[in-house]
Amino acid sequence: MSEQKKSNRLFDEFPPVSPEAWKERIVADLKGADFDKKLVWKTREGIDVQPFYTAQDLSGLSHLDNNPGEFPYVRGNKIKNNDWHISQNICACDVKKANKKALDILNKGVTSICFEFHTDKTPTANDIETLIEGICVEAIELNFAGVVGIVDFSEALLQVLKKHKIDPSKLIGSINYDPIGRFTLKGKFCTTQQDAFSKCEKITKLFASYNQLRTITVSGIHYSNAGATTVQELAFALAVGSEYIAQLSKLGLTAAEINNKMKFHFDIGGNYFFEIAKFRAARLLWSQVMQQYGAAKADSKMYIHAQTSEWNKTIYDPHTNVLRTTTEAMSAALGGVQSMVIDPFNTIYEDSNELSERIARNQQIILKEESYFDKIIDPAAGSYYLETITHKIAEKAWKLFVEIENKGGYLAAFREQFVQNILNEGAKARRQAVANRQENLLGTNQFPNFKEEKEHINPDALKPTDLTKPDAEVPGIIRYRGAQEFEQLRYRTDVYAKKNRRPLAFMLTYGPVAFSNARSQFSQNFFAVAGFAVKDNPNFDTIADGVKAAKEAKADIVVLCSSDDEYATIAPQALELLDKKTILVVAGFPKDSVEELKSKGINNFIHVRSNVLESLTGFQKELGILK
């Protein structure tokens, strides 16, 4: 008997179950609770994630029968395996030091280097010679970024490549020229729009024979680091890519020529499955854009470079950044990217060091050598959940992309501040979500390290980044990290504690242990977020005993931890016994007695619906930490 027949007989023993039957059973198990409120996850993208998916959800999806390497490339551009370049960025301000570092890390697992120039000087042919000395550039991916004087640099690079007789068909890399990205951040082109695209056209023609050297970059990463959703990042990146094709087509280049010189630089966010789906949706949509420009299917592929997000990285408890970047790298690898950078865990607040860079490299190496992520192409294929969200992300991103195109393209939409307004509105909502702990940043707004203290933090690391030029046409987008406001909050306490006693929040536990313990744990976590010292206690026999212990501990804040039924009696009693300068806080929100307690001067309540940032800022003001 064939394996297929055996399989059919096995499944014939189980009658099919419809989605309606599954839902009916779940609703029954919920015992009256609302299905949507209890089990449906409503994402920032406006996608309702269901608690289960079935084959029925995939009906009508046309790409499901395509193999890896086949149009529309949902399953990736790769055919033989899922390998990607392990990339590391190197500051090339000192070309000799940069070369030395490149030679070192190439022996430690890196297969791609990006030399980043942070100077106003255009690198010369001699600089390039020094940078690549001793490096077999045909064996790696070679990238350059942040170059001033892109045409002169490109001519110098071409001169060096010809001098060393580098085979044009074997050189893989990029020079990352992105004038639209600059316009997005700074609100103006370096010279003029016409000049910017003229330079794009020149360098693209200059390296026409180098079919794996990409000259133009689309920086989708800017949007996610400004708080964009996956849908928005994708739509804006598509619009920028389309703008490049539209502008450069006017200068005589074909869509295929432009796309073959284009690299998309995407962020990798922390939403694991959505990020996998994002990369799949990106290739699907870009193939459709290319079709609209008349490109052949073979010329409709998207080349993706991915980099871990800055948005969710934290200064406090920074080693959690290693956990974040690991799952982010997994998403990118499973999503089929061509190259990837994992930023070292400490780069948001200091220069990376040998250890943090080694950890970042080894994260990718482990994914390949121990977890075999480079072996299987698109393992997400066929997953009811991942295929569905791939489709939904693509659907919503395409809708936003079309809206931008209808405004005249990306530059026109940006000039009327359509893009900025979307990002600003999203950033406001996302900040609110972090403040309310609807979006958690471990170690910062939730579950902080109680004992951690910072001696010094660079003030720039705590502020959003606005690179808008004084003479800008329009405002540029503002990049920020989700943790910044909480980091400011905690750092204020750390600075205050250098010259003063660190404020102490004392847990006055009383009554039913189940309530007092739970609320004590919640409250300790709550106040430690602001860097306050916290003191837990076993239950006190009387409120008087608790107040006495609080006074002996020199508590600045006393948190009453008990049941809602007890608060109406014990909260006024605690307030009367405490010194006037001591802040009394009730852990919970006893709705039946709140108004009565407020009428007696008890106004501080902390609970799961509290705006944590706002509440803790208020306590800092009361304590004189924030003037």
- The 3-class secondary structure across 257-270, one letter per residue, is HHHCCEEEEEEECC
Tell whether the model's pLDDT for residue 616 goes beyond 60: yes
Residue 584's H or E segment, with its range, is: strand 583-587
Tell whether the model's pLDDT for residue 11 goes beyond 70: no
The residues spanned by each domain of the chain are 74-406, 410-492, 500-623
Tell whether the model's pLDDT for residue 94 goes beyond 80: yes
Write out pLDDT tens, residues 566-588: 999 999 999 999 999 999 999 99
**Residue 466 confidence (pLDDT):** 97
CA dist 29 and 189 (Å) reads 59
Average the pLDDT over 297-313 and give the result.
98
DSSP 510-554: -S-HHHHHHHHHHHHHHHHTTT-EEE--PPPSSHHHHHHHHHHTT
CA dist 620 and 388 (Å) reads 46
**Residue 17 confidence (pLDDT):** 87
Tell whether the model's pLDDT for residue 2 goes beyond 80: no
Write out pLDDT tens, residues 107-120: 999 999 999 998 89
**Residue 118 confidence (pLDDT):** 85
In the numeric block, the tokens 């482990």 are attached to: 366
- Range of lowest pLDDT (2-11, 159-168, 254-263, 564-573): 2-11
CA dist 126 and 174 (Å) reads 19
CATH architecture of 74-406: Alpha-Beta Barrel (3.20)
Tell whether the model's pLDDT for residue 429 goes beyond 90: yes
DSSP-assigned beta bridge partners for residue 281: none
**Residue 87 confidence (pLDDT):** 98
Mapping DSSP onto H, E and C, the string for 192-229 reads CHHHHHHHHHHHHHHCCCCCCEEEEEEECHHHHCCCCC
- Range of lowest pLDDT (29-38, 248-257, 305-314, 397-406): 29-38
Tell whether the model's pLDDT for residue 97 goes beyond 80: yes
Length of the chain: 627
68: confidence class by pLDDT, cuts 50, 70, 90: very high
Query: Could you tell me which of 127, 139, 140, 138 has the C-alpha nearest to residue 99?
Result: 127
12: confidence class by pLDDT, cuts 50, 70, 90: confident
**Residue 14 confidence (pLDDT):** 79
Q: pTM for this structure? A: 0.95
5: confidence class by pLDDT, cuts 50, 70, 90: low
Q: What is the DSSP-derived secondary structure letter of residue 50?
A: -
% the chain with pLDDT above 70: 98
**Residue 8 confidence (pLDDT):** 61
Write out pLDDT tens, residues 167-188: 999 999 999 999 999 999 999 9
* Class (C level, CATH) for 500-623: alpha beta
Write out pLDDT tens, residues 22-60: 999 999 999 999 999 999 999 999 999 999 999 999 998
Tell whether the model's pLDDT for residue 258 goes beyond 90: yes
379: confidence class by pLDDT, cuts 50, 70, 90: very high
Non-local CB neighbours of 372 within 8 Å, separated by 6+ positions: none
Q: With beta carbons less than 8 A apart as the criterion, state whether 17 and 7 touch.
A: no
Average the pLDDT over 474-492 and give the result.
98
Average pLDDT over all residues of the chain: 96
**Residue 1 confidence (pLDDT):** 43
Write out pLDDT tens, residues 218-246: 999 999 999 999 999 999 999 999 999 99
Average the pLDDT over 528-544 and give the result.
98
